[in-house]
Structure formats: structure tokens, C-alpha cells
Chains A and B, each alone.
Chain A
Amino acid sequence: MSTVTGWRSRLAFVVMLTAWSIPGAQAQAAPATGIVIVTGQQATTPVPTLMEGAANGVGNQDVADQLFLRLAELGPKAQTAGDRDFVPALARSWTRRDSTTLVFDLDSRARWHDGTPVTARDVVFTFKRAKNPDLAPRVSDLLRQIVSVAAEGDSRVVFRFARPYAEQLYDATYHVAPIPFHLLDSIPPDSVSRSSFATSPIGSGPYRWVRSVPGQFVELAAVPDFFLGKPKIARVILRTAVEPSARLNLLLSGQADAMDIIPPPSVNQVAADTTLRLIAVPSSTMGFLLFNQRDPKNRARPHSILADNRVRRAITFGLDRRQLVQAVFGSHGMVPYGPVSQLLWIRHRSPRAEGPNVNEARRLLAATGWGDSDADGTLDRDGHPLRLVLSVPNTSGIRRQMALLIQEQLRRIGVQIEILQLEFPIYLERRAAGDFDVDFSSVNQDPSPSGLTQSWACTGGNNVAGYCDRGVDSVMEQAVRGRGDPGERWIEALRKIEEDAAATFLYAPAFMYAVNRRFRGVTITPQSAWLTLRKWSVSPVPVAGRSR
């Protein structure tokens, strides 16, 4: 029967589809004037002092790093102690007046994107806002050692600190980049996030804001007269996809040029694509098994099994950490010594992590009274089995994978691990409340080792396991103050933490980043992936083909 919606309309549909595909196929060999970077999180308020709470994420930070230039940038070695590893940016030089005073001289060529020169008044204004604990609780806490920021003339800024310590320059430059006084002063501090400034920020960085298409991408354009050199890549697109598979697909189908943190299982596949270059970047991530020293049901009492450091050390010896890291991260993972990710500069001086020693593990467990009286494979003592619950957030594929391997490895020394996978908010809640036996933790560390005090000092805000060693506290304090060689002090702290087996430190990976080969001069700084974007160049001819 000849029908209304018959073969004619079908044909028309197919023809239309083909017709649309053709110009599209041509457009896919994209003009080499831009770079498309895949992200998992869209930038909503990429403005320093506004990145608090939920807005404190890599999505906002990456964009803010392009829009707003810092006083000085941290170099690739991420050496946060001392004044040496910093590169001039907004400030062209700095000097010390005394052990608690730092003076910056701003580069007179620096301009805001609307042409206004950057002056000392901007810096003073920025720190006034940043140090306000009601507006910026996170940042103000990081800046607590800074007592005052004052202008001397138009281009000189004087920082005064509460006491002498090693990371003064780091604190003054890293945590917050200056924001423009002339545009923000008139806006009351708590309305800034709703103002037009937040939706199209004006900064002093190498790229300026063009537009944001909700749920899709953010577009930035190069600032042609950027005083440190015009960026060679004209456009930067940060393209958002929340689903990991969608992100990978964007990269592998050629719709995107660069991506940070390729999931370890997919590295081989990306490597097979010859249009992409893989770069190993030390990561700020560090994963560890945190032992609860307190009874999760009653925080006043010690943990019935884990309070004894021999048991904790036995678990550490019982795990073949090298094998775990190899299985999940391939050749780019390290077993850390102490709570140190590949980002921290102190790892270069720390000893190597110990290998497994199953016999020692068994000996330690036997010494603490654990034996297998009912021959069921699990050790027990006084009728209680050696059973521990390992809390894992179900959002981390890496930790879920490793938890299974850990369970198997520990089974061999008679320790029974029950894996409890929790939805992320519940996981966090329980962790904060100390409601766990063993918490499979993962942190993203700041470049400064002083962050370690949060988790490993007796009064650390993030010390949920109840670990407390006065010796460690005092050594860390010395390191922070710069008494003696900070490096040595930190290593000593690490040694104590390791010896006491406060946790089993499992992995410190280097993640693989992918960048299309047509981009030259590519470097990736560990603490901020695309920071050096303005120095990259792009070859005019699109790289042909892809093979798999």
C-alpha cells in the first residue's frame, strides 16, 4: 500500500542525514586556532575568593588559573619552602626586609582585561576580601599567618607575617590571585557571586573570558597584549562531560584535544591513538588505608583490634603494595613512604617504602595473641575473629578495584576484610564521625607539606582516626617554622608515622594526561594542569589520521 509516511519520507530523512554529515565531517578537521580540553566539572565561578565550598573544585580552579595571574607562580618542582622555586608573574621581583616581612614589586606592564593597570591597591583589596572568614572560610584559614597587607605607592606591596616560617612566599602568592579593585569594590562582598562579574570575570591573566554555554563548555580567548607574551593558542575551550565514558569518547573521537587524568584502565587505548601524546604527571593524589585507633562505637575507648600498632604493622607487611600499584596504575605508580603524594617535594628525599614480609606479618599477629583456633582460615582471639570492615566510597573505581585485591592478600595472613561500599556522602559522614575500622582514604594534597598537620597532628582538623604522637607533632611544628632544615624535619616526621603504622600508605600515582600532538612545547605543572598553556604553540597542519 502506498502510504502517507511511505518510502518517500524515509528517503528524504536519509538524504537529509547524509547532507548534514558532510559539512560536519569537514568541520571535524578543526581549524588549528584553538584547543579543546575535556573536563569533568564546569566552571561556575572561576574567581579567586569565591571558590569556596562546592565551588572549590578543579573545574573552577583551571579556568581561574587562566583568567587571573598570581603574584608569583610555583615552579614545576613545587618546592613550597623557601623563596627559590617561584617564577615572577604579576610581581616582577620580591625582597625581604626581615624575617617576617616580604615586599613585592609589581610589574608595571600588568593590565586587567579591560585595560586598567594592576596596582598595589588591587592586591590589598584582594587580601582584605580573602581574609574575611565569613566570606571565604577556606582561603582565610590558609592565609591565617598573614597579619597585614599594605601598599607603598602604586606598585609595591608589603606583607607582614605573624612569625618567621619557611612558606611565607608560598602563602602570599599561591592561595589567591589578585582581583580588580576598581570593578569589585562597589559590589558588597556577599553579592559578588550573584553579580555580573561572577558570570563574566575580568582578570589579569593570559586568557580572558568569552562565554559559558551551560552544561557544555567554557570559552576563553587569548589576550593579545599580555605583558608576558601573547599566547600562541588563540582560543581555549574547556568542554564538560560528567560521565567518564563521555569524556574518553570526546578525546578518542577527535572532538577534544586534551584531557587530564586518563583513567588507568584506558591508558593503553589512548596510547594506541597516535595523534595523542601521553604525558606522565606527578599527581597530588595519595591513597592509604587509615586505621581507626578508636572504637567506632565509642570514641573514648581504643579500637579493640587496631589500637595495637603491631597489628597495624602486620597488615602493612602482609600487603604486597608494589603488586597492588602495578595492577591498578601500571608502571606510573609509586608506593609512597609516609603520607606523601608525588606532588610533594619532600618525596625526593624520603627513603623507599618497605616491601612485603608475610612471615613478619604472621609473627606479629601471633605475638599479639591472634591464632586460628577453629582452623577456618581467619585468625581469632578470645572467640573474636580478626575481622575488619574496610569502608570504600563507591565513586572511586580505583579504590573499589584495589579493595578487592587487598581483601584477597590479607585473607592469606588470616585477616578477614569485609568491604563496605558506601555512597559518597555517607562515606564522608562516617569518616568524619570516626565510624569505621579501616577507611580507604584518598587525598589530593596541596603542594605544601604543612597540609599534613591536618591529618597527622593530634589536634589536626582532619584527624578522624584519633592518631596522636607528640613526637610527630613537635617535629612537624619545627618543619613548618623552618627551624633546621625543613626537608630533614619532614622526613623525620614521615619516619615516625611509618614506624607507628598509623596507616598503610598504598599508592602515589602519576597520572597520564593526553594532549594532541599538534601542540608543541607542552609542559604540565603537577599542581595545575594547564597553567603553562600560554607558552604552548600549535603546528598549523592538523595531524593526519589515527590508528588503533
Chain B
Amino acid sequence: MGGWLLRRALQAVVTLAIATALLFVLMRAAPGDPLFRLSADRPISQKEIEVLRARYGLDQPVGRQLAAFLGGLVHGDLGVSIEYGRPVTALLAERLPATLLLGGSVLLLNFTVGLWLGVRQAVRRGAREDRWLTTLSLTGYAMPSFWLGLMLAWLVGVEWRLLPAAGMQDPLLSSDAGWLTRAGDVLRHLVLPVLTLSVVSIAATMRYQRAAMLEVLHLPYIVTARAKGLPERLVTWRHAWRNALFPVITLFGLWLPILVSGSVFVEAVFAWPGLGSLAAGAVGGRDYPLLMGASLLVAALVVAGGFLTDVAYALLDPRVRIG
């Protein structure tokens, strides 16, 4: 097991390295220049541009910039954001929790509602309920997250005023409010963004889980169990489910990149202060260090997710460790 683990970890590092190189090449092949954004509508003097250029090391050749970046990376320094003037790592650290909260809540919903619906569909395969749920899930999967977000924010937030239309917390909450009130406040703000992301992801989870369950339900030992007279409920939740867990773990590994991507739109529409909105803002402003840092962080999360998935697999199924 130890040897396998080491090899797998090494694989993950190599993958991340390739991703890093890819990102850097893509970004620095740019014809654009982040500093020109600043001469937006106020005339900017040449002197000012030169000072800022030197400050951000943009006057160095690309090779030197790459070396500087990698050197910094080893020390955990991702450079300074051009737009915010602060270290990229600090910015990412500030904004990551919000995205994790959003993503985590969506995953939670996926693993409860999505899983349950998928299993239900598989068990009731072919029934009317199954067909309706399939259509429903396909519709949900077809919705652009930003559009759904805009609709929900408008309807629920502005027209009906049931829930906050944007933001993560109420800034006017007095400082002596208890943690319960605060948590409740954040939860209220969380509902719409989570709903938006969940519609799409649960739809996919349902489909996936249904397919996985169906595969398992045909396995010989399940058929045997049924033939032996075991009640259907036990067959489903005692035996079949655990086997269907494998694809679910895969799903977890797959969902990370999708959730992060979806969060770019959803966080923007709901002004949710996470990584997604940070990245969306950095794109327009050509904030190279910030863009690089955010993409790298996302890639790292994805690779880590994949690694953990494999480890989970290995723990559950010894055969995997040998292969």
C-alpha cells in the first residue's frame, strides 16, 4: 500500500506541474499588457507606467519572469496582485472559505438529495416517476447557471423579497449579535446561490447515480439476495448501495472542477465573495499574478480531489492497489 500511495502521490505532483507549465505559457503568450487598463479614462503619464512596470517586474524577459515565479512558488509566494496591490496568496486565502462554503453546501445537497433521487430512480426503473425525474434532471442540466442565477435573484430577491438578492452577510448586523444569528444570516444569503448551482449538479448526480445503481442491481449477488427472499429495501440500502458508492466517489472527484467553474458565474451574479468572483474580476483586468494563482489553486484542488478519490477507492477495494 505504501508504495502504491507514493507512486500515486508522485503522479499527482507531476500532473500539477504539467498544469502549471501549461498555465504559465498560455498567459505569458499574451499580446496585452495589464498596465494599459489603468489609463482608462485618466491620462496616464509615461513616468507612471514605467514606475509601475518596474514594480511588477513586467519589464523583464519572459524566462526571467517564469524563473521568478517558480522561485516564489517554492516559498509559497505567488506574487503580488496588480489590481489589489496585495500578495496573491493572501487574497486567495481570504476568498477560498466562501467558495468552499458554497461548494460544500452544493456537494452536501448532491450527496443527499441527488443520491437519493438517483437511487430511487434506479429502483423504480421504467416507472412513470423514473421517466419524469429523468426529464426533470435533463432540463435542470440544460440550464445555464448564470441565467438561472439572474432569474432567481430577480424573482426571489427583488420581486418577492423572500431572500437576499446578493452578498454573503448583512453588513448592518450589530456586532453583538450571537453566532446563531450570524450563521442564520449567512445561511439566508446562501440559499439562492446554492440553489442555482444545485439545480445543475443534482441533475447530473441523479443521472450518474441512477446509471451506477442500475449496473449494480444486475450483479449476480444482488440477484441472489433477492431470490433468497431478502426484502427490496434491504437489498437496496444494505448491499447495492455500497457498491454503487464507487461511482459516487468518482463523482466527487469530477464535481470539483465543475463546481469551481460554475461558481465563477454564480458568485458574480450573487456577489458571493469567493474565488470565482475573484477570478472573474481578474480576467478583465489582466491581473496575471492573480489569474495564475487562482487557476493554480483550482488545479491543485482538482488534483488533490482526484488523489483522495483514488485513495478512497483503494481503501474500499483492495484490487485497485495492485493495478
Contact = CB atoms under 8 A, between A and B. Distances in A.
Contact of A215 (B95, B115, B153): B95
Contact of B42 (A5, A241, A426, A444): A444
Contacts of A153: none
Contacts of B237: 3-4
A259 to B, nearest CB: 12
A252 B162 CA distance: 13
A240 interface: yes
B43 interface: yes
A395 B174 CA distance: 37
A298 to B, nearest CB: 20
Interface in A390-443: 395, 423-426, 428-429, 432, 442-443
A1 B188 CA distance: 32
Contacts of B161: 28, 253-254
Given A1-B232, A53-B48, A454 B172 contact: no
Interface in B28-50: 31-48
A214 interface: yes
Contact of A5 (B116, B123, B271): B116
Contact of A246 (B113, B153, B181): B153
Contact of B45 (A141, A194, A442): A141
Interface string A446-474: 10000100110000111000000000000
A237 B172 contact: yes
Most A CB atoms within 10 A — which of B42, B120, B161, B162?
B42
A245 B281 contact: no
Interface string A28-46: 1011001010000000110
Main secondary structure of the interface of B (DSSP, over half): helix
B310 interface: no
Contacts of A217: 171
B268 interface: yes
Given A55-B85, A138-B44, A242-B281, A215 B166 contact: no
A185 B185 CA distance: 42
B62 interface: no
A451 B84 CA distance: 27
Contact of B166 (A138, A141, A250): A250
Interface residues of A, number: 73
A20 B271 contact: no
A432 B158 contact: no
Interface string B247-266: 00000000000000000000
A137 B115 CA distance: 59
B82 A255 contact: no
B44 A21 contact: no
B83 interface: yes
B154 interface: yes
A429 B167 contact: no
B281 A442 contact: no
B168 A1 contact: no
B51 to A, nearest CB: 5
A548 B154 CA distance: 13
Nearest to A235: B172
Contact of B33 (A215, A252, A429): A429
B95 A249 contact: no
Nearest to B46: A461
Nearest to B90: A214
Nearest to B120: A3
B314 interface: no
A134 B50 CA distance: 10
Interface residues of B, number: 78
B293 interface: no
A242 B173 CA distance: 22
Contacts of B116: 3, 5
Interface stretch (B18-26, B135-143, B272-280): B272-280
Contacts of B95: 214-215
Contact of A240 (B173, B271, B286): B271
A2 B277 contact: no
A40 B275 CA distance: 17
Given A53-B48, A215-B277, A454-B43, A245 B85 contact: no
Interface string B104-124: 000000001101100010010
Interface in B272-318: 273-274, 277-278, 280-281, 284-286
A446 B41 CA distance: 10
Main secondary structure of the interface of A (DSSP, over half): mixed
B129 interface: no
Nearest to B177: A27
Contacts of A247: 271
Contacts of B27: none
B133 interface: no
A246 B269 contact: yes
Contact of A21 (B37, B48, B159, B188): B188
A9 B113 CA distance: 10
Contacts of B43: 451, 454-455, 460-462
Contacts of B159: 548
Given A215-B98, A217-B171, A250 B38 contact: no
A216 interface: yes
Nearest to B34: A425
Given A215-B94, A237-B171, A428-B37, A253 B48 contact: no
A238 B252 CA distance: 38
A444 B167 contact: no
B211 interface: no
A429 B36 CA distance: 6
B164 interface: yes
Nearest to B233: A1
A244 B64 CA distance: 39
Interface in A206-239: 213-217, 219, 235, 237, 239
Nearest to B48: A137
A395 B42 contact: no
B52 interface: yes
19 contacts: A20-B184, A20-B188, A56-B38, A137-B48, A141-B45, A214-B95, A215-B274, A237-B172, A239-B171, A242-B271, A245-B269, A246-B269, A249-B157, A249-B166, A423-B32, A425-B37, A426-B31, A432-B39, A460-B43
5 smallest beta-carbon distances between A and B, as pairs: A215-B273, A462-B43, A137-B48, A249-B165, A241-B271
Given A54-B83, A442-B41, 8 more contacts: A21-B162, A34-B172, A45-B85, A54-B37, A133-B51, A241-B166, A246-B270, A432-B39
